[in-house]
Structure 1
Amino acid sequence: MGSTPRRSRRRRWASLLGATALAVTAGGALACPAGAATNVDFPTHCIPPAIAGLPPIDGTTTAKITADNTSPKVGDTVTVTYTVVTPAANNPTDLALPADIMTPTGKVTLGGAQTGSVTVAGPKKNDPVPGKGVFPSFSMTGTFTVTSPGAITLSPGDYNIHTSYILELDTPCTVTNPPAPVSETVTAADNPPANTRAISLGSASGSPGASVAVSGTGFTPGASVTLAGRSGDTQTADTATVTADTQGGISGSLAVNDLTTTGVVAYEGGAWSSDKGAGPAAYVVIDDQPVPPGSQRLTTTVKAGSLSMSQPADAVQLSDVDFGQGGASTGDLQTVTVKDFRGGPAGWSLTGKVTDFTGAGAKIDAGKLSWTPACTTKAGSPSTCQAGSAGTVGTSGATLASTPDGTVTGGEFTANARLSLDVPTFTPPGTYVGVLTLTLS
């Protein structure tokens, strides 16, 4: 009588472990990449943990791979995502499997212009699986650095599912006939060498028509180089031509007449190019000519202002989640207004970081908070606002919005974000509070 219940319990545990192993291996599908990525099917051979007492599982995996940048340059970092989306089998038992027991890892195979593999990993997160139910999908991400120009193919590779339910177990799944079909192609461009051209001026200002000395380095030896005045982003009529010496140096002068001149540039080729140009070096024309008899010179000054931000309130109420269910607690960041009235060439960056959410004798990790930023630019602003990337905020922080450096910058902007806090399933009931700090620089 005493041994029968123990054998029954062992059979039940073996059955449960077998179900877990199938759950992890049968779902061999990859996620959709952005752009032209396509579903691919490939045979997969999975080996359940020995304790499960199950034979190897051979099935078809339907897969996709996404790349966050399908047109990178050599030296860029590309993030790839490998997601199992269409499982090859259902839960074969009546036993339900709980949420958040699966931690996947795997490989994405590179081919074409660059070969090798990318290690990918996913979070310990999955939806519950009812008895005889369909297994959930899971995603894994990783990065690689582009080292060669040309078409780089991305194919799904082997993957492993680690389960933390009753015991810590691994279920490795391999591509039966590698490589698997190509799901996405990344076309990499050559990254031209850095532009080291630079110029300096003999003076920062002068009277109308005065010549300013221009010297420079880093130009192509023997190249014809144009010296030109600039008014903001527009070239003026003041130009001159010099020839670079055998070391790539230039030396010459430019007569500056345009009263609106703000700087001087030097460039190779028929028109200004940031790849083959230098400057602008700041230069101002001082109108010191006497006024005609009976006339009056009128002068005004535009004073530089400051970089500032404001928000209508300092609290955000995220949506409720249910104990035992968990999931996304969502809300909207209070809109932040940025005013850049400094003038000059500097852009700005608005970043945020968050503390852990504490309360009820427990906490929700700061890394559970993610956002999807957005920003708008007021009409007439010289700069254009760029929203930060969607993703985790956490204690290390992330960019909400920014503007780039430029010849002329400034304006008014509004930035906000959709917030989502991933609340673990059995977080104790109560109110949890975290502080999101925004920094403008």
Structure 2
Amino acid sequence: MLTTAPRGTKDILPRDVEAWRYLERTMREICAQYGYLEIRTPVFEHTELFLRGIGETTDVVEKEMYTFTDRGERSLTLRPENTASAVRSYVENKMYADPAPTKLFYIGPMFRYDRPQAGRYRQFHQFGVEALGVEGPNIDAEIILLAVQILQTLGLKDLKLKVNSVGCPKCRPLHREKLQEYFRPHLGEMCKDCQSRFDRNPLRLLDCKNPHDQELAAGAPSLEECLCEECKAHFEGLKELLTAAGVDYVVDHNLVRGLDYYTKTAFEIQYAPLGAQSAVCGGGRYDGLIEEIGGPATPGIGFAMGMERVLLAIESQNLLPQFDNSIDVFVVCPGSANFTLAFKEAIALRREGLKVEFDFLGRSMKAQMKQANRLAAKYVLILGEDEVARGCAVLRNMSTSEQTEIPIQDITSILKTEVQSHE
């Protein structure tokens, strides 16, 4: 057990980190274009935040949270998502006093006790965006466009955007009654989770993953026919803006998302080549969440994107760029007599911003040259005993195999110039 990572977790090895940096860099650059600023919240919160924020009848709260009691007898939970945390920070730090909208994004690990599978882990990473303080559909459209632009910039083409309106507290009671009327005759044949939620939160019946219950849900009453005039106008406004921006979408009236805080707009972006687990992004509006956790009544909307799932998608389509992990200089020091000099020169070159390695193990000249090749060094600096005795070093261009002798006192200036010209 000591040499095995816990089930559902995964090491991100040095050879993989560059792909993560590329993904994060793309997300940060596009967020900057849209005016979103980064927020970093704790990885654990008071459990009550998620019970009230996400909803006690959701799968996340009922089955998937990592909850523990600390030494002060406080119930804490590793964050299963970050919207509740971002909203808590918004309230605690009185960001609502700033001019609206407050535009935030985050990148970080989340934790859910879920069944591990391709692109899904118990510790996973999410990129997410939250926009707080604006009621109209224009901010909804901007949020969706930001998500689409990120995925398209990464090279994903077969994207399917699904949108829906899940109503508001004014129009949901009628839909709730119609759902219960529809499902009541079938309740005995539905899964235990659905039976449990029938009275507590019948909207969750539309989000069940049981194949039989999904078939039943396909014929359930649509929330569209129950929407109040405000929700209808909001949804029509969103669709109009998406059409104006040239974004294709489909309306899916059974799309309710998995969290209770959504109101009005809900959306999901799917990438078909991933198969059954095709959702790469999902989100929606949560106009009552801030008030629910104790803040002022404030509208909000956001989304989250599973980074492992997105990486799986771009890797499967060979969309990752080639990363240059080469070093600038490898300092070769045959024998130990000149090691201090080799160390000194390596440090001097690094202080000038060059990527430099040297041999720590006192290996042979041949072995050190092999190591330089493995590291894809652009240049090798050889501090042989004869050359050093003459106050010189040998500089080898690894791409052309050309060698020249250079004065030791000029090593830094010459290599800086050579590396810059090489680039």
Query: Using CA pairs below 8 Å that are at least 6 residues apart, which structure has the higher relative contact order?
Result: 2
TM-score, with structure 2 as normaliser: 0.23
In terms of Rg, which structure is larger?
A: 1
Per the normalisation by structure 1, the TM-score is 0.23
* Structure that is richer in strand per residue: 1
